[in-house]
Amino acid sequence: MPKSILERLKEGVVLGDGGYLLALENRGYVQAGPFTPEVTIEHPNALLALHQEFLNAGAEVLQVLTFYASENKLAQIGYAGRLAEINRAAVQIARQAAGDRALVAGDLCLTWKYKEGDSKAADDCRRLFDAQIGYQMEVGVDFFICETFLYAGEALIALERAKRTGLPVMVTLAFEGPKTRDGRTPGEAARMLEGAGADIVGTNCWQDPTFMLPVVEEMRRAVKGYVAAQPVAYRCTPEVPFFTGQKGFPDKLNPYHLTRYEMGDFAKKALDLGVNYIGGCCGCEGAHIRQMARAIGKMPVEEREWAVDYERPQSATEAYKRLRDGSR
């Protein structure tokens, strides 16, 4: 029987995967703006290939693509009647890719229905989460990731519903600034979630590595349990420290893209801070995850030997390196 996420975390850092919706939008399978995951049933092979890309890059967990796969979001684009099909397919595709090499995480995300202090809105969130959980559990996941919550209150509701499955639950918040939308600092929010039973707490999306590191460092100091961090691979600014507020969002983000080495540097710094679960989010593709794997010792620096001969170059790598170095 494969080791659970908690058993793996007890042994050391776990490497997650990257972002799916924006990667698939770049490939032409997802519509920019709504970012709903009907790709799971319309182009399943495209999603399968991306899961395999992350797996081959070193990811130890594949997250099912059910972000925005809730009734209210799917209804906006005419897919409300296919809620069950989309959620089930997402788990089946991730399972097919993972085989016995990786864990499969179910997924719940912000609904845009939550209103602080509104009990009816809270019940709406519960109903939306319960429907997704039910369909994902029919196929079977290893644990749940509740992600990208701007309100700590909505994150608590997602945690409440996911904990009813008896599976481990990871909860990560997204930050537009120093606090959540309901006024919680990263440390306060992390303690609240851990106290409510989250097995792993942390932050994901919205922020790039520069802005996420202080957030996750505060969370690490605030809690005793496991901490997760999954930044975007798009550069943010001090004026707008979250990528969804950049002028290039949602479909002109190419100039903001971070290199694999910047994400690798983040992974090493996060590991040094004591972060236990490290991955990526929007904009983070296979090359980024592979470099992160290398940075935290999950993959050799070079996969295979390459005989280099600068005297008789066989590639532009050899031919132009000596010109750059000025050595030959």
* Residue boundaries of the structural domains of the chain: 5-325
| Among the listed residues 324, 231, 320, the one whose alpha carbon sits nearest the alpha carbon of residue 275 | 231
What CA–CA distance (Å, rounded) separates 241 from 277? Answer: 23
CA angle, 63 then 64 then 69, to 5°: 130
Q: Residues 210-238: pLDDT tens digits?
A: 999 999 999 999 999 999 999 999 999 99
**Are the beta carbons of 185 and 242 closer than 8 angstroms?**
no
* pLDDT band, very low/low/confident/very high, at 2 (cuts 50, 70, 90): confident
* pLDDT band, very low/low/confident/very high, at 80 (cuts 50, 70, 90): confident
pLDDT, position 299: 82
The pLDDT of residue 328 is above 70? no
pLDDT, position 302: 67
What CA–CA distance (Å, rounded) separates 279 from 34? Answer: 24
68-96: average pLDDT: 97
The pLDDT of residue 314 is above 80? yes
* Residues above pLDDT 90, as percent of the chain: 90
Cβ neighbors of 25 (< 8 A, separation 6 or more) are: 31, 32, 35, 250, 251
* pLDDT band, very low/low/confident/very high, at 312 (cuts 50, 70, 90): confident
Query: What phi-psi label fits residue 148: left (phi over 0), alpha (psi between -120 and 50 degrees) or beta?
Result: left
pLDDT, position 303: 64
pLDDT, position 304: 72
156-164: average pLDDT: 98
- According to the 3-state scheme, what is the secondary structure of the chain? CCCCHHHHHHHCCEECCCCCHHHHHHCCCCCCCCCCCCHHHHCHHHHHHHHHHHHHHCCCEEECCCCCCCHHHHHCCCCHHHHHHHHHHHHHHHHHHHCCCCEEEEEEECCCCCCCCCHHHHHHHHHHHHHHHHHHHHHCCCEEEEEEECCHHHHHHHHHHHHCCCCCEEEEECCCCCCCCCCCCHHHHHHHHHHCCCCEEEEECCCCHHHHHHHHHHHHHHCCCEEEEECCCECCCCCCCCHHHCCCCCCCCHHHECCHHHHHHHHHHHHHHCCCEECCCCCCCHHHHHHHHHHCCCCCCCCCCCCCCCCCCCCHHHHHHHHHHCCC
pLDDT, position 301: 67
pLDDT, position 47: 98
265-276: average pLDDT: 98
Residue type, 67: F
| Among the listed residues 282, 108, 286, 105, the one whose alpha carbon sits nearest the alpha carbon of residue 209 | 282
Cβ neighbors of 210 (< 8 A, separation 6 or more) are: 236
Give me the CATH code for the 5-325 domain, please: 3.20.20.330
pLDDT, position 84: 98
* pLDDT band, very low/low/confident/very high, at 326 (cuts 50, 70, 90): low
**Are the beta carbons of 286 and 53 closer than 8 angstroms?**
yes
155-171: average pLDDT: 98
Average pLDDT over the chain reads 95
* Residues above pLDDT 70, as percent of the chain: 97
The pLDDT of residue 286 is above 60? yes
pLDDT, position 322: 66
What CA–CA distance (Å, rounded) separates 238 from 249? Answer: 16
